[in-house]
């Protein structure tokens, strides 16, 4: 009878330890996944900021080019050259 009690307690202790290790591993995996998700969110935010910056720079560049072209087209010398060309 005493042997069976010690065997039962030993098996219980081993199973309790295995259960505790398994629970710890599951919790750590979940925390690791949460950290990975947070890292991906930060990366996504950074990429969005980079894309928005690139688009903003491109739009500014295009607007600058449009302003130069408008200045050329509205220049009186350009209009005079066009009039001369049209008269020929």
Both tokens assigned to 36 = 């990975």
Computed on alpha carbons and rounded to an integer, the radius of gyration of the chain in Å comes to 37
**Which residues are CB-contacts of 72 (< 8 A; sequence separation ≥ 6)?**
78
Nearest to 67 by CA among 75, 79, 78, 77: 75
Q: Which H or E run contains 88?
A: none
17-63 residue pLDDT tens:
999 999 999 999 999 999 999 999 999 999 999 999 999 999 999 99
The predicted model gives 61-72 an average pLDDT of: 90
What global pTM score does this model have? 0.55
Residue 85, pLDDT above cutoff 90: no
**pLDDT, position 83:** 72
Does 11 have pLDDT greater than 80? yes
């Amino acid at each position: 009878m005493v042997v069976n009690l010690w065997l039962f307690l030993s098996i219980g202790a081993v199973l309790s330890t295995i259960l505790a290790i398994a629970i710890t591993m599951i919790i750590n995996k979940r925390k690791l996944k949460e950290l990975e998700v947070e890292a991906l969110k930060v990366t996504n935010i950074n990429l969005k900021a980079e894309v928005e910056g690139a688009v903003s720079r491109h739009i500014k560049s295009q607007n600058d080019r449009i302003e130069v072209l408008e200045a050329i087209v509205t220049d009186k010398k350009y209009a005079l050259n066009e009039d001369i060309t049209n008269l020929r």
